[in-house]
Structure 1
Amino acid sequence: MGCFVAGFLIATFGDSSLGRKNMLFLSCLTISIASSIIIFSTNIWLYSALKLMIGFCRSSIGTCSLVLLTERVCKEWRFRVGVLEYIWYTLGFLSLPGIAYVNIDASWKSLYLWISIPGICYSILAYIFVTESPRWLLMQAREKEAMALLNKASGGTLNPSQLTEPAKQSASTFNLYSSIKQLFVNSWAFKRLLATLMLGFGIGMVYYGVPLNVGNLGFNRYLSVLFYALLEIPAFITTYFLHNCRRKPSLLAFSISSGICCLICAGIGNKLPIVKPALALVSFFCVATSFDVFLIYVVELFPTSVRNTATSMARQAMVFGAIFSPFLISAGRKNDLFSYGIFGLIIL
C-alpha cells in the first residue's frame, strides 16, 4: 500500500523539483535505512508502519533508474538500452534464494540486514557516480549543466548551437504536481495513461503472483524461486531482440501465452505434478517478457515533462495488481481456480 500511494504522491518529484538522480538516491537510501531499522520492531503495528514506509520509498527506484537510463541516449536506442536495467534486476532477484538458503535457520532480522546494508552502500555509490538526465536539465532551463554533461559524453565535439535554442523553447519551471495535471488535462495523455494502467494491473498481478505461488506447487521453494529468477535472463534477452518489433503485438502475444499457461495450470490441478511447475515457469517467462516490453513501451509513449510520473503510475498499477495476489494464492491452496485461474483470466 505504501508503494501504491507513493506512486501518486512523490512520483512527480522526479519530473519537477528533485530530478531523476536525487529521487533515485533518496529513495534507495531511505528504503535501506528503513529496512535496517525494522529489525528493532517490538510489535506488529511498528513492523507494519515500517513496511508501509519501505513500500513508500521503493516506489520510485525502478522508475527513476529506467527513465534516467533511457534519457541518456537517443530515441532509437531507448528500447535496447532500457533492457540493461533488467540485467541488474535479475542479478538481484537471483541473490534472494541464495540469501534465504544461507539464513535458513536464522532470524528474519538477519535477512533484513543482508538486503538493507548493501543498499546503503549502493546509494552512496549512486550519488557519487550517477549523473542527472540531460533531457530533464534542459526541461528545467539548466542548459549549461546539460551541455556540460553532453559535451563530456561526446568527447567535447558537441556544438552548443545544436541544443540551446530547442532548450529555450521547451524549458519551463514546473510546479510540484504540474506533471500529474498535464496527464489528466490533456485528453490524449489521459486515454493513453488509462490504457497503460489497465495493462499494468493485469501484468503486475501475474508477474508478482506466479512466483509468490511457489508454496502451492508441491516443489522445493528455493529451487522454484531460483528457476523463476533464471527465467528473467531469457526474458530480457527476448526483449532485446524485440526492439524492431511493434510493441502492441509483442505485448499481446506474450500476455496471451502467459494467460493460457495459467489457465491450464488451474485445469490440471495436482494431477500432473511435473507438468504444473513447468507450465508455471513458462507462464512466468511470458509475463516477464511482457513486463520488460511494457515498461520501455510506457517510457516511449510519454514526453520528457511527464515521463517519470507516467512510468511511475504504470508501475503502481502493477503493484495494485500484486496487492490481490496473496489473497488469491491463499484461496488457491484448496482450488487452483482462485489463483492460476484468476491470474489467467485477468491477464487475458
Structure 2
Amino acid sequence: MTGSYVEIGSPKPITAFDDATKLAARLIKPKPILYTSMFLSWLQPFQSGWSTSQLNLSDYNNTDECNARPVVEGTCTLFSGHSKLEWTFAVNAWIFGAMIGSLSCGHFSDKYGRKKTLMGNCSFMILGGVVQASVSNIWAFAVGRLISGLASGIATGTIGAYVNELSPPHMRNTLGLGLQIFTTLGILVPAICFFFANTSSGWRYLAAFPCILAVIYLVLAPSMTIESPAWLLTQGRTDEAKQVIANLYGEEHVSTAMSWLEVSKPHVEDDSSSSRDSMFAPRYRMQLFGGLLLSCAQQLSGINAVFYYSGSIFSDAGISDSRIGTLIINFINIWPAFFTGVVANRFGARNMILWGLAGMVVMAVGMTVAFVVELPALSIVFTALYVIAFGVTLGPLVWVMTADIFPDSIRASASSLCIGVNWLCNLIVGVAYPYVSDALNDYAYVPFVALLVVFYLLALKLVPETSGKSAEEILAEYDSRCGKHTTALD
C-alpha cells in the first residue's frame, strides 16, 4: 500500500493551524493505511504487556517450594530450585533491558525513521523469545528477558511518537490509547493462559509467543504500514512527506495536514540540526520537565505495587487461587482505557490527568484504612477503584501526552528520554516495594499518597492541555507560561 503514491499538485499553502483549518482537519477521514500502520505497530506493546505478565504465576516462584530440598515434583516449575536472588534478577532483567531500549531508540528513530526502527525491533522480539524458550538455566533465561526488554523499551519509546505523527490532532487522544490498550491486553492474555499452560514446559510456549508477533509485523509491515510524514519533513524530504500525507488523508487534505505539522514552520529548520541539543535547549525546558513528570507519575503512582499486593488482598478475601485474583485485577485494569478517548475529548487530557492523580490519592488513603482496620472486602473495593482511576487517566494518557507536548523536531529523542525514565521508575518500584511493604506493613501505600500529592501540584504548573492542538500551539502555551511571547515564525 505504500509502494504507489498518489500524484499530487502544489496545494495553496496554509501557514497557521487556525480555527478554520481545525474545522477542516475534523472533516478528514483517514485512509485504511493509517489504521493498518497503527494496528500492526500495537503488536509490539502487546509483547511488552506479555513480558510483564508471563512470569506472574505462583507455581513458578513459590519461595517455600523453591527452597525445599529436594524440590517436590510439580512445584517450582520454572527452573526448579532457583534462589530468590536468581528470580529477582530474571524478573528485573526485562525492566533493565526496557530502560536501555527506550533510552537508545530515539537516536535510531531520528536517523532511520519510525517504521524502520520498529521493523528492526522485531529482531529483539524474536531473539529474546527464542533464548527464553530454549535455555536450560535461569541465568541464561534472564539474558533472554533482557533482550525482550530491549524490544519492549524500543516499542514504548517509539510508538507514542509514531502514532502521534500519523494522527490528525482531533484523533490523537483516541488513537493514542492503542498503546495502553494493547499493553493491558498483553498482560491479560497470559493470565488466561495460566489456566491451561501450568505445566513443566508450558512456560516455554509463553516465552516463545512474542516471536509470532514479530513475524506477523515483518511480513505485513512493508505493504501495510507507512513512514511518519513528520519524520520525513525533518529529513528535508518534503515531496515524499506530501505524498505520504496524500496516502494517509487524501490529496485534498495535504495543505491542511501540513498546517499542523510543526516541522513545516521555518523556525524549526534552525532547531532540527541536532535533536539531542535542542531537546535540552532553554526553550524546551518546561516541556522536558513536564514529560519527565508524567513518566515518573505513571510508575511512582503505586500501580505496580497494587499488582504486587493484589494476591494477598484477594487471598484475605477468601480467593485462594492466585490465578483468579490476577485475572480479576487484569480485567479491571483493561476496560477503562476504552472510554478514555471519549472522556478526554470532552473534558481535556490535562483535566483527566489531574482528576486521576486526585482520585488515586483518595483511593490509596482508603486502601490504607481498609488494611489497618482489616476489612478485606473494602480493600478489594478500593483496590479496584484505584486501578480504574489509573486505567482511565494516567495509564493511557501519559503515552499520549508525552508525545503531544514535544515539537516534531525533538519528539523522538525527548520521548525516548521520558520513557527511559518511566522504565527506571518501574525498576525502582519493582526492586524497592517489597522492602517498603515489609517495613511499613499496612501503611505501605502512604509513600505513594505523598508522591501523588506532589505530582498533582507539579502537574498544575508543568502539564498543559494538549487535546486537539498542534505542536505549535502547545509550544506557544509553554512559552506563555514562561513569560515569553512567540509567533509561529520565531
Both structures adopt the same fold (TM-score exceeding 0.5): yes
2:4 alignment partner in structure 1 = none
Deviations along 1:179-233, whole A, 9 cap, x unmatched? 232111x123223212331332232132333223323322443233333333322
Of residues 230, 239, 254, the one that matches 1:135 is: 230
Q: Residue 120 of structure 1 is aligned with which of 215, 218, 243?
A: 215
Give me the CA root mean square deviation.
3.0
Aligned partner of 1:315 among 404, 416, 419: 419
2:307 pairs with 211, 229, 239, which one?
211
1:238 Cα deviation from its structure 2 partner: 3.0
- Rounded to whole Å, the distance in 2 between the matches of 1:67 and 1:213 is 33
Deviations 1:85-121 (A, max 9, x none): 4343343333121122221124332320234333432
Who is 1:260 aligned against?
A: 362
Match of 1:344 in 2: 449
Structure with the greater alpha carbon radius of gyration: 2
Residue type of the alignment partner of 1:230: F
Match of 2:325 in 1: 224
Identity across matched positions, percent: 19
Shift of 1:329: 4.2
Structure 1 residue matching 2:98: 3-state secondary structure: helix
In structure 2, the partner of 1:272 is: 375
1:240 alignment partner in structure 2: 342
Give 1:82's aligned amino acid.
G
> Are positions 1:20 and 2:114 aligned together?
yes
Report SS of the residue matched to 1:24. Answer: helix
Q: Is the 8 A contact 1:328 1:339 kept in 2?
A: no
Which consecutive residues of structure 2, in runs of 5 or more, have no partner in the other structure? Answer: 1-95, 454-490
Q: Letter of the 1:95 partner, please give it.
A: V
**Aligned mate of 1:104, from 198, 205, 220:** 198
Instruction: Report the Cα offset of residue 333 of structure 1.
Output: 5.6
> 2:104, 2:416 within 8 Å by CA — same for their partners in 1?
no
Asked if the contact 1:3–1:57 (Cα under 8 Å) also holds between the matched residues in 2, the reply is yes
| CA distance in structure 1 between the aligned counterparts of 2:348 and 2:213, rounded to whole angstroms | 38
Of 250, 263, 287, which aligns to 2:390? Answer: 287
SS of match in other structure, 1:210 = helix
In structure 2, what is the Cα distance between the partners aligned to 1:162 and 1:249? 27
**Which amino acid is the alignment partner of residue 313 of structure 1?**
L
Kindly tell me: are residues 239 and 335 of structure 1, through their superposed partners in 2, closer, same or farther at Cα, counting changes over 3 Å? farther
CA gap 1:199/1:339 in 2 versus in 1, 3 angstroms: farther
Aligned 1:180-191 pairs, distance under 5 A: 180-184=276-280, 186-191=281-286
Compared CA separation, residues 83 and 57, structure 1 to 2 (3 A): closer
Aligned equivalent of 2:147, options 53, 58, 63: 53
Counterpart of 1:105 in 2: which secondary structure? coil
- The superposition leaves residues 222-270 of structure 1 with CA deviations (integer Å, 9 ceiling, x where unpaired) of 2333333333222341343112424333212211211332233233227
Q: TM-score, normalised by structure 1?
A: 0.86
Whether the 8 Å CA contact 1:19–1:132 is kept in 2: the answer is yes
Write the distance in 2 (CA, Å) between the matches of 1:38 and 1:161. Answer: 48
Q: What does residue 326 of structure 1 align with? A: 430
Q: Indicate how the Cα distance of structure 1 residues 188 and 201 shifts in structure 2: closer, same or farther if over 3 A, else same.
A: same
Q: In the TM superposition, what is the alpha-carbon distance from 1:56 to its structure 2 partner?
A: 2.1
Q: Deviations over 1:320-342 (max 9, x none)?
A: 22112333442326754464333
Unpaired segments ≥5 residues, structure 1: none
2:120 partner letter = L
> What are the Cα deviations for residues 148-186 of structure 1, in whole angstroms up to 9, with x where unaligned?
22222344335679959x8494568967xx3232111x1
Confirm or deny: 8 A CA contact 1:33 1:120 kept in the other structure.
Answer: no
Q: Secondary structure of 2:199's partner?
A: coil
Distance in 1, matches of 2:377 and 2:254, equals 61
- The one-letter amino acid of 1:25's match is M
| Structure 1 residues 172 and 145, CA gap change in structure 2 (3 angstroms) | farther
Counterpart code for 2:165: E
Contact 1:216 1:333 in 2 (8 A): no
Residues matched between the structures, number: 344
Per the TM alignment, residue 21 of structure 1 is displaced from its structure 2 partner at its CA by 1.0
- The worse-fitting range, judged by mean Cα deviation, of 113-122 and 253-262 is 113-122
**Maintained 8 Å contact 1:207/1:284:** yes
Helix, strand or coil at the partner of 2:166: coil
Query: SS in structure 2 opposite 1:269?
Result: helix
Question: Could you give the per-residue CA deviations for residues 45-87 of structure 1, whole angstroms, max 9, x where no partner exists?
Answer: 3333332222222212133223222212332332222124434
